[in-house]
């Protein structure tokens, strides 16, 4: 669990506060941009539902979801309220659904790439020097944690949403290419939410049993950690 791991890390109270603050800001930007991109693309495709609902704003309060925030603290991965979309308003139904479905994933991958670029460009500033001033130390520590969480959260959001499980974006894009009423789609519409919860619980069980290689989130973290190491 995120908070438990943080408390076990041996960091002092000040470092924990900086880490949590950096994580919250990085997560807010990443998750809000994901949701706003869905609404913005939907608007361009002819559906103003998100605009009329006030969800095309970067204000995180408009996208706040209590359970998603709690999960962010508990497991280090959260979500916002889904942006309301009415696909009946799309000028081209299939194209509109596809573009809206991949909008969030695409946005998170772009933000992840920008984060990696910043890590590369700002490498000298990411060296934590405790011999400097306290202000400099705090700012460097915050920048380090912010960029680390920003890159990881955006990558994991894209990685997770690519899964072909209802109601994730990957399923919505895939469902367009499947025959109407096919067994897989029927199963997902009925049990998709339970499958996702089960996947998370099973992945956590593997982690507790030191079988991380069987944990789907392990591979997402492995890939992004590899990218970060290549950049640094």
23 vs 142: CA distance, rounded Å: 9
Q: Which of 23, 33, 35, 100 is catalytic?
A: 35
The token pair that represents 153 in the structure block: 């959260």
Backbone angles phi, psi at 167, to 5 degrees: -100, 30
- What DSSP line would sit under 107-157, residue for residue? HHHHHHHHHHHHHHHTGGGGS--TTS-HHHHHHHHHHHHHHHHHHHHHHHH
How far apart are alpha carbons 41 and 106 in whole angstroms?
A: 11
Going by C-alpha positions, the residue among 46, 127, 37 that lies closest to residue 92 is 46
Q: Tokens 């497991």 — which residue?
A: 75
Q: How far apart are CA 109 and CA 104, in angstroms?
A: 9
Helix (H, G, I), strand (E, B) or coil at 106: helix
Percent pLDDT > 90 in the chain is: 49
Say what the pLDDT of residue 132 is: 64
pLDDT of residue 5: 64
35 is catalytic: yes
pLDDT tens column, 23-78: 889 989 999 999 999 999 999 999 999 999 999 999 988 888 878 777 776 666 66
pTM above 0.85, yes or no: yes
> Per-residue pLDDT averaged across 157-174, rounded?
92
Indicate if the pLDDT at residue 219 is higher than 80: no
Q: Is the pLDDT of residue 7 over 80?
A: no
d(CA 75, CA 121): 30
Average pLDDT over residues 204-228: 72
Report pLDDT digits (tens) over 74-121. Answer: 666 667 888 999 999 999 999 999 999 999 999 999 999 999 999 988
Reference 151, options 222, 227, 217; nearest CA is 227
């Amino acid at each position: 669990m995120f908070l438990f791991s943080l408390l076990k890390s041996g960091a002092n109270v000040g470092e924990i506060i900086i880490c949590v603050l950096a994580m919250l800001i990085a997560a807010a930007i990443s998750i809000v941009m994901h949701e706003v991109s869905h609404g913005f693309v939907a608007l361009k495709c002819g559906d103003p539902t998100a605009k009329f609902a006030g969800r095309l704003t970067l204000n995180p309060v408009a996208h706040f979801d209590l359970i998603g925030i709690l999960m962010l603290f508990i497991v280090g991965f959260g979500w916002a309220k889904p942006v309301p979309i009415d696909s009946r308003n799309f000028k081209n139904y299939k194209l509109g659904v596809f573009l809206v479905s991949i909008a969030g994933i695409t946005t998170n991958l772009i933000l992840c790439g920008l984060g990696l670029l910043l890590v590369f460009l700002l490498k000298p500033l990411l060296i934590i020097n405790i011999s400097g001033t306290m202000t400099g130390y705090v700012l460097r520590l915050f920048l380090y944690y912010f960029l680390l969480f920003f890159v990881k959260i955006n990558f994991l959001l894209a990685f997770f949403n690519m899964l072909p499980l209802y109601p994730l974006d990957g399923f919505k894009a895939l469902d367009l290419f499947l025959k109407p009423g096919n067994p897989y789609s029927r199963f997902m519409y009925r049990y998709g939410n339970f499958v996702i919860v089960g996947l998370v619980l099973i992945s956590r069980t593997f982690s507790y049993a030191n079988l991380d290689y069987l944990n789907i989130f392990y591979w997402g973290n492995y890939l992004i950690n590899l990218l970060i190491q290549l950049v640094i």
